[in-house]
Amino acid sequence: MSDPLLEVRGLRTWFETPKGTVKAVDGVDLTLERGEILGLVGESGSGKSITGFSLLGLVDPPGRVVEGDIRFLGEDLRSASPRRLRDLRGNRIAMIFQDPMMTLNPVLRIGTQMIETVRAHAKVSKAEARAKARDALCQVGIPHPDERIDAYPHEFSGGMRQRVAIAIALLHKPDLIIADEPTTALDVTIQSQILSEVQTLTREMGMGLIWISHDLGVVGQLANKVAVMYAGRIVERGTVDEVLDTPRHPYTRGLIDSLPMENDRGQPLRQIPGNAPPPLGRPEGCPFRPRCARATEACLSEPAETEAQGRGWRCFHPLEEEAMA
């Protein structure tokens, strides 16, 4: 049996702060095969981005991966040298950040940055690199790429900047892309076009994709598998059909119920009460307890994962396995 593209076991990434230890990621397991798309959803602060950063060795102090195993095609990334990680990030694994300015340099023209990327990968002339960069802009729906390639990032709208960052990631033709809420600000036709590009790359080139998003609609249409994060843990996972059609965790169910599409106009949206707990003030036991209508005394201790064949949840009182209305 060949190694999975990515295998993560028991990942814990903690930040030592003066006020205490922030357990941003606290025991996360993930498996991704070639050609698979995993949707990682959850509240902000639940640890999605830090999970992504941890995989790439991009966690800055005071943060540190304190425990766990990260394997990329069998290679142990936790003990890989910084140089090896940099090499992988440049060639095999790409990250599209939530904030496109983490990819873009504000004082360089878009074209300059893209040409550099192309030439870092292939020995091509400047003119060839420019043509490739131009095509990549076209691919993500930047109009009139011949003119806009010479613009600076601030001359683009937020959505256009994000598309440029995506174009740069695609230029690497990586084996694995970790995309952190990349299309949140885009309208549906452009989003659809970008999703079409990444779908093609996963289907035809066997690229693996972790799509971090809070848009359940997109995840439902795009992904094969879903993992729902809450307070540093994956609280529910399974295939898209399993998780979205028969959610077992009350938080997943609450997320689905609060979608505007699932509500009648003129009625208040069904909302999950309260906020996600602050990282240093997580309640004892199940972290969802203060917001959960099903909570009982049992929930004062921490629920372990109930798991069978890749389908799992962490809850003492899971919802019945009945199809949603």
Ligand X SMILES: Nc1ncnc2c1ncn2[C@@H]1O[C@H](COP(=O)(O)OP(=O)(O)O)[C@@H](O)[C@H]1O
* Binding of residue 46 to ligand X (CB under 6 A): yes
Part of the chain binding another protein (CB under 8 A), chosen from 13-21, 148-156, 165-173, 295-303: 148-156
CB of 242 to ligand X, least distance (A): 22
| Rounded Cα distance, 224 and 222, in Å | 7
Part of the chain binding another protein (CB under 8 A), chosen from 81-89, 183-191, 300-308, 311-319: 183-191
CB of 197 to ligand SF4, least distance (A): 25
- Residue from 41, 49, 137, 282 binding ligand X (CB under 6 A): 49
Closest alpha carbon to 108 in 64, 67, 168: 168
> How far apart, in Å, are the Cα atoms of 193 and each of 90, 134, 167, 234?
24, 17, 12, 30
In terms of CB distance, is 21 or 221 closer to ligand X? 21
Q: DSSP assignment, residue 253?
A: H
Part of the chain binding ligand SF4 (CB under 6 A), chosen from 169-177, 201-209, 263-271, 285-293: 285-293
- Residue from 10, 20, 158, 274 binding ligand ATP (CB under 6 A): 158
By the 10 Å C-beta count (0-12 exposed, 13-18 middle, 19+ buried), 208 is classed as buried
In terms of CB distance, is 108 or 293 closer to ligand SF4? 293
- Residue from 12, 124, 317, 319 binding ligand SF4 (CB under 6 A): 317
* Binding of residue 155 to ligand ATP (CB under 6 A): yes
By the 10 Å C-beta count (0-12 exposed, 13-18 middle, 19+ buried), 275 is classed as exposed
* Binding of residue 130 to another protein (CB under 8 A): no
* Binding of residue 129 to ligand SF4 (CB under 6 A): no
Residue 165: which H helix or E strand, with range?
A: helix 158-171
* Binding of residue 230 to ligand X (CB under 6 A): no
> How far apart, in Å, are the Cα atoms of 191 and each of 47, 139, 168, 183, 199?
24, 12, 16, 6, 12
| Rounded Cα distance, 175 and 213, in Å | 20
- Residue from 118, 164, 231, 256 binding another protein (CB under 8 A): 256
> How far apart, in Å, are the Cα atoms of 227 and each of 60, 112, 258, 285?
25, 37, 18, 21
Q: Which residues bind ligand X (CB under 6 A)?
A: 15, 17, 22, 24, 42, 44-50, 63, 279
